[in-house]
Amino acid sequence: MSASASGPAPHVPEKTRLGILLSGRGSNFLAIARAIAAGQLANVEIGLVLSNVAGAPGLAAAHELGLATACLVSRGRPRAEHDADVITCLRQHRVDLVCLAGYMRLLSADFIAAFPDRILNIHPSLLPAFPGLDAQMQAFDYGCTVAGCTVHFVDEHLDHGVIVLQRTVPVLDHDDAHTLAARILEQEHLAYPEAIARVVSGDYRIEARRYIPIPRP
Protein backbone atom coordinates (compact mmCIF):
# COMPACT_ATOMS: atom_id res chain seq x y z
CA MET A 1 0.00 0.00 0.00
CA SER A 2 1.37 3.41 -0.86
CA ALA A 3 1.65 6.13 1.77
CA SER A 4 -1.20 8.66 1.65
CA ALA A 5 -0.57 12.39 1.55
CA SER A 6 -1.92 12.61 5.10
CA GLY A 7 0.18 9.68 6.35
CA PRO A 8 3.29 10.01 8.48
CA ALA A 9 6.21 11.78 6.83
CA PRO A 10 8.97 9.41 5.81
CA HIS A 11 11.86 9.36 8.28
CA VAL A 12 14.76 11.35 6.86
CA PRO A 13 17.92 10.59 8.83
CA GLU A 14 19.62 13.70 10.16
CA LYS A 15 22.96 14.51 8.63
CA THR A 16 26.08 14.80 10.72
CA ARG A 17 27.01 18.47 10.81
CA LEU A 18 30.69 19.28 10.52
CA GLY A 19 32.32 22.30 12.07
CA ILE A 20 35.52 23.01 10.15
CA LEU A 21 38.17 25.05 11.94
CA LEU A 22 40.97 26.53 9.85
CA SER A 23 43.64 29.21 10.05
CA GLY A 24 44.85 29.54 6.46
CA ARG A 25 44.60 28.27 2.91
CA GLY A 26 41.84 25.74 3.52
CA SER A 27 42.71 23.09 0.94
CA ASN A 28 41.72 20.28 3.31
CA PHE A 29 38.39 22.00 3.96
CA LEU A 30 37.84 22.22 0.19
CA ALA A 31 38.70 18.53 -0.21
CA ILE A 32 36.03 17.71 2.37
CA ALA A 33 33.53 20.02 0.63
CA ARG A 34 34.29 18.33 -2.71
CA ALA A 35 33.83 14.87 -1.20
CA ILE A 36 30.42 15.91 0.13
CA ALA A 37 29.42 17.42 -3.24
CA ALA A 38 30.52 14.20 -4.97
CA GLY A 39 28.31 12.10 -2.70
CA GLN A 40 31.28 10.42 -1.02
CA LEU A 41 30.06 11.60 2.38
CA ALA A 42 26.34 11.03 1.95
CA ASN A 43 25.15 11.69 5.50
CA VAL A 44 27.34 14.67 6.17
CA GLU A 45 26.96 18.42 5.74
CA ILE A 46 29.12 21.37 6.65
CA GLY A 47 27.38 23.35 9.38
CA LEU A 48 30.07 25.98 9.90
CA VAL A 49 33.53 27.01 8.73
CA LEU A 50 35.28 29.01 11.43
CA SER A 51 38.66 30.69 11.39
CA ASN A 52 40.73 32.22 14.16
CA VAL A 53 42.61 34.35 11.59
CA ALA A 54 41.06 37.35 9.86
CA GLY A 55 41.49 37.12 6.10
CA ALA A 56 42.18 33.37 6.04
CA PRO A 57 41.76 32.34 2.37
CA GLY A 58 39.87 29.22 3.45
CA LEU A 59 37.20 31.37 5.04
CA ALA A 60 36.70 33.37 1.82
CA ALA A 61 36.42 30.09 -0.11
CA ALA A 62 33.74 28.87 2.32
CA HIS A 63 31.85 32.13 1.93
CA GLU A 64 31.93 31.75 -1.86
CA LEU A 65 30.46 28.27 -1.52
CA GLY A 66 27.57 29.77 0.43
CA LEU A 67 28.48 28.04 3.69
CA ALA A 68 27.97 29.51 7.14
CA THR A 69 31.21 31.14 8.24
CA ALA A 70 32.55 32.80 11.36
CA CYS A 71 35.76 34.57 12.20
CA LEU A 72 36.77 34.69 15.85
CA VAL A 73 40.25 36.18 16.01
CA SER A 74 42.33 34.47 18.67
CA ARG A 75 45.42 36.66 18.65
CA GLY A 76 45.89 38.42 21.97
CA ARG A 77 43.00 36.66 23.70
CA PRO A 78 43.28 34.19 26.59
CA ARG A 79 42.84 30.66 25.26
CA ALA A 80 39.96 29.80 27.61
CA GLU A 81 38.01 32.90 26.62
CA HIS A 82 38.50 32.41 22.90
CA ASP A 83 37.70 28.69 23.06
CA ALA A 84 34.50 29.41 25.02
CA ASP A 85 33.35 31.66 22.16
CA VAL A 86 34.25 29.02 19.57
CA ILE A 87 32.30 26.36 21.50
CA THR A 88 29.26 28.65 21.67
CA CYS A 89 29.45 29.31 17.93
CA LEU A 90 29.79 25.59 17.11
CA ARG A 91 26.75 24.84 19.29
CA GLN A 92 24.73 27.63 17.69
CA HIS A 93 25.37 25.94 14.35
CA ARG A 94 24.46 22.51 15.78
CA VAL A 95 27.85 21.02 14.98
CA ASP A 96 28.23 17.30 15.74
CA LEU A 97 31.81 16.69 14.61
CA VAL A 98 34.64 19.23 14.72
CA CYS A 99 37.31 18.91 12.02
CA LEU A 100 40.55 20.82 12.48
CA ALA A 101 41.85 21.55 8.99
CA GLY A 102 45.02 23.55 9.36
CA TYR A 103 43.78 25.12 12.61
CA MET A 104 47.09 26.25 14.04
CA ARG A 105 46.05 26.55 17.63
CA LEU A 106 46.03 24.23 20.62
CA LEU A 107 42.62 23.50 22.08
CA SER A 108 41.91 23.96 25.79
CA ALA A 109 40.82 21.02 27.95
CA ASP A 110 37.36 22.61 28.14
CA PHE A 111 37.07 22.57 24.35
CA ILE A 112 38.03 18.90 24.17
CA ALA A 113 35.58 18.05 26.96
CA ALA A 114 32.80 19.91 25.10
CA PHE A 115 33.10 17.52 22.12
CA PRO A 116 34.25 14.20 23.58
CA ASP A 117 35.69 11.93 20.84
CA ARG A 118 34.13 14.34 18.34
CA ILE A 119 37.19 16.35 17.27
CA LEU A 120 39.43 15.24 14.40
CA ASN A 121 42.72 16.71 13.21
CA ILE A 122 44.91 16.15 10.18
CA HIS A 123 48.67 16.34 10.53
CA PRO A 124 51.23 16.11 7.71
CA SER A 125 53.44 13.39 9.20
CA LEU A 126 53.25 9.78 10.23
CA LEU A 127 52.59 10.41 13.91
CA PRO A 128 54.03 10.03 16.46
CA ALA A 129 56.95 11.26 14.33
CA PHE A 130 57.27 15.01 13.87
CA PRO A 131 54.40 16.61 15.79
CA GLY A 132 54.16 20.40 15.74
CA LEU A 133 55.07 22.88 13.05
CA ASP A 134 56.69 22.20 9.66
CA ALA A 135 56.27 18.44 9.96
CA GLN A 136 57.06 17.82 6.28
CA MET A 137 60.35 19.72 6.55
CA GLN A 138 61.18 17.91 9.79
CA ALA A 139 60.70 14.55 8.00
CA PHE A 140 62.75 15.68 5.00
CA ASP A 141 65.59 17.10 7.10
CA TYR A 142 65.68 13.94 9.20
CA GLY A 143 66.30 11.91 6.04
CA CYS A 144 63.12 9.82 6.22
CA THR A 145 62.54 7.59 3.20
CA VAL A 146 58.81 7.38 3.94
CA ALA A 147 56.63 10.28 5.05
CA GLY A 148 52.86 10.75 5.10
CA CYS A 149 49.88 12.13 6.95
CA THR A 150 47.69 11.16 9.88
CA VAL A 151 44.06 11.82 10.77
CA HIS A 152 43.50 11.41 14.49
CA PHE A 153 41.11 12.21 17.30
CA VAL A 154 42.20 15.24 19.28
CA ASP A 155 43.11 14.88 22.93
CA GLU A 156 44.76 17.32 25.32
CA HIS A 157 48.27 16.69 23.95
CA LEU A 158 49.71 18.11 20.74
CA ASP A 159 49.11 15.88 17.66
CA HIS A 160 48.61 12.92 19.94
CA GLY A 161 45.10 11.36 20.01
CA VAL A 162 43.94 7.99 18.66
CA ILE A 163 44.84 7.50 15.00
CA VAL A 164 41.93 6.94 12.60
CA LEU A 165 44.06 6.48 9.50
CA GLN A 166 47.44 7.20 7.97
CA ARG A 167 48.62 7.41 4.37
CA THR A 168 52.25 7.03 3.41
CA VAL A 169 54.26 8.95 0.82
CA PRO A 170 57.71 7.83 -0.38
CA VAL A 171 60.47 10.43 -0.21
CA LEU A 172 62.00 10.51 -3.70
CA ASP A 173 65.67 11.16 -4.53
CA HIS A 174 64.89 14.44 -6.30
CA ASP A 175 62.51 15.69 -3.56
CA ASP A 176 62.98 18.82 -1.53
CA ALA A 177 60.80 19.74 1.43
CA HIS A 178 58.34 21.57 -0.83
CA THR A 179 57.79 18.82 -3.40
CA LEU A 180 57.43 16.36 -0.56
CA ALA A 181 54.88 18.58 1.21
CA ALA A 182 52.88 18.88 -2.04
CA ARG A 183 52.68 15.09 -2.43
CA ILE A 184 51.74 14.67 1.22
CA LEU A 185 48.98 17.25 0.73
CA GLU A 186 47.51 15.20 -2.14
CA GLN A 187 47.25 12.28 0.29
CA GLU A 188 45.77 14.51 3.00
CA HIS A 189 42.95 15.40 0.63
CA LEU A 190 42.11 11.71 0.27
CA ALA A 191 42.68 10.83 3.91
CA TYR A 192 40.45 13.42 5.58
CA PRO A 193 37.17 12.58 3.80
CA GLU A 194 37.86 8.88 4.28
CA ALA A 195 38.51 9.36 8.00
CA ILE A 196 35.33 11.43 8.38
CA ALA A 197 33.34 8.69 6.65
CA ARG A 198 34.78 6.12 9.06
CA VAL A 199 33.97 8.15 12.16
CA VAL A 200 30.50 9.19 11.00
CA SER A 201 29.62 5.56 10.23
CA GLY A 202 30.08 4.75 13.92
CA ASP A 203 31.27 1.30 12.88
CA TYR A 204 34.35 1.22 15.06
CA ARG A 205 35.54 0.82 18.59
CA ILE A 206 38.65 2.10 20.30
CA GLU A 207 40.77 -0.25 22.33
CA ALA A 208 44.11 0.65 23.86
CA ARG A 209 44.58 3.63 21.53
CA ARG A 210 43.71 1.46 18.54
CA TYR A 211 40.93 2.35 16.10
CA ILE A 212 39.25 -0.95 15.25
CA PRO A 213 36.67 -1.05 12.44
CA ILE A 214 33.57 -3.16 13.11
CA PRO A 215 32.46 -4.75 9.85
CA ARG A 216 28.76 -4.39 9.10
CA PRO A 217 26.96 -7.76 8.94
Active centre residues (catalytic): 123
> How many whole angstroms separate alpha carbon 154 and alpha carbon 213?
19
Nearest distance, CB of residue 1 and ligand GAR, angstroms: 51
What is the C-alpha to C-alpha distance for residues 187 and 146, in angstroms, rounded to an integer? 13
Among 50, 61, 70, 101, binds ligand GAR (CB under 6 A): 101
- Of 46-54, 91-99, 116-124, 203-211, the segment contacting ligand GAR by CB under 6 A is 116-124
Spell out where 12-62 has E strands: 16-22, 44-51
71: which residues sit within 8 A by CB, 6+ positions away?
Answer: 50, 51, 52, 53, 54, 56, 59
Looking at residue 158, the DSSP 8-state letter turns out to be T
Q: Which is closer to ligand GAR, CB of 40 or CB of 131?
A: 131
* Closest to 176 (Cα-Cα) out of 156, 198, 147: 147
Contacts with ligand GAR by CB under 6 A: the residue count is 16
State in angstroms the smallest separation of the CB of 95 from ligand GAR.
18
Could you say which residues in the range 49-68 bind ligand GAR, by CB under 6 A? 58
Write down the least CB distance from residue 32 to ligand GAR, Å. 9
Angle between helices 27-37 and 177-201 (to 10 degrees): 40
Q: What is the CA radius of gyration of the chain?
A: 19
193 binds ligand GAR (CB under 6 A): no
| 200, burial (CB in 10 Å: exposed 0-12, middle 13-18, buried 19+) | middle
CB neighbour list of residue 110: distance below 8 Å, 6 or more residues apart? 80, 83, 84, 87
Among 32, 53, 159, 163, binds ligand GAR (CB under 6 A): 159
Interface region with ligand GAR, contact rule CB under 6 A, candidates 25-33, 45-53, 72-80, 164-172: 25-33
When binding is defined by CB under 6 A, the residue of 188, 193, 195, 196 that contacts ligand GAR is: 188
Q: Among 26, 47, 148, 193, which residue interacts with ligand GAR (rule: CB under 6 A)?
A: 26
> Site for ligand GAR (CB under 6 A): which residue of 25, 93, 160, 183?
25
The footprint of ligand GAR (CB under 6 A) covers 22, 24-28, 58, 101-102, 122-124, 135, 159, 185, 188
